[in-house]
Amino acid sequence: MSSLTRTRYLTLDLFNNYFLFRVSKILLAERTSFQTLEVLESPEFGLCLLLDGLIQVAEYDEYRYHETLVHTPLLNAENRRSIAILGGGDGCALREVLRYREIEHVDLVDIDRRVVEVSEKHLQRLNKGSLKSRRVEIHLTDARKFISRKKNHYDSIIIDLTDPVEGGPSVLLYSKEFYRMVHNALKPGGTFITQATAFQSRQFRRIFWTVRRVFGNSIPLHVYVKSFCDDWGFVMGLKPWGKLRLPPEDFKEVDKMIAEKVKGRLRYLNGKTYMANFSMSPEDEGMLMKPVKEITDREAFTSIAEEGEANPSWIFQ
């Protein structure tokens, strides 16, 4: 079999369907203390990092995901001096955060040392060496334990975790109890965002409503990421709750803010795509606004596998 015809499953869509893609070269494959880690080259998607078989970063379109994840909360924060990234050991979200000259310190918290080490070695052309910045302190520890010790500390908290799949390391980082810790760790005027799985999935709705009940409200947004095979969702919160400082409809002001605050040229985000990220069809909005049960620690604990590898299947149905 030619190496060009090897396949790996790509990711799950909201119906738990698998998608396959071609792999031209496997650079690394190992089992860490927490998950299966792979770095590979794909003819379609370029350099890719996978965790438990699911793409986390693909050279082809990771910038769409990371520019949305990072610049949306930072442009809406009152200040941008102290930032936390929970997860994101690949360094790509960090790359975007470091575009702001006013940022003085970033705490990056990732439980898996090998993800950080491998990303420093293999993903430099994507993360631009961000993991070695003097403004960054890397904490190789549990994000929940780390953030629980912070009070009114951060101007923005960016949550770039793996998806909540059975047996995965991030299951307890989507609960009401965890989001209360995040809320407490933010300064007044601060912003928070989390990746929240496929936009039209029930998991997205449950994360949206869990955040809403902690922060008093929540803001949904989304961007299509081809390497994820889905329209990908994010949920944002403000402390205290209020209107966005940068309204989506004012796309000229968005362009102005990006030009003033962000160093270098963005590949995806501008005033018009920023506005599009907040747009929803009447059907999607109607479905999202139907209340669903919040996610609790108790439910998350029951989904943690006692042994074996993670099962790449959505939980919190």
What amino acid positions are annotated as catalytic residues? 160
Count of CB atoms within 10 A of residue 151's CB? 10
Distances (CA, A) of 271 to 7, 192, 244: 38, 20, 14
> For residues 135 and 105, is the Cβ–Cβ distance under 8 A?
yes
CA dist., res. 98 & res. 103, Å (int): 7
Structure tokens at 140: 């190789």
- Among the listed residues 294, 277, 274, 269, the one whose alpha carbon sits nearest the alpha carbon of residue 231: 277
CA dist., res. 236 & res. 157, Å (int): 10
CA dist., res. 34 & res. 92, Å (int): 20
Please give the single-letter amino acid code of residue 148. Answer: S
Q: Which residues pair with 236 in a beta bridge?
A: 193, 219
> For residues 59 and 68, is the Cβ–Cβ distance under 8 A?
no
Instruction: For residue 203, give every residue at least 6 positions away whose Cβ sits within 8 Å of its Cβ, in sequence order, or none.
Output: 14, 164, 196, 197, 314, 315, 316, 317
The one-character DSSP state at 34 is: S
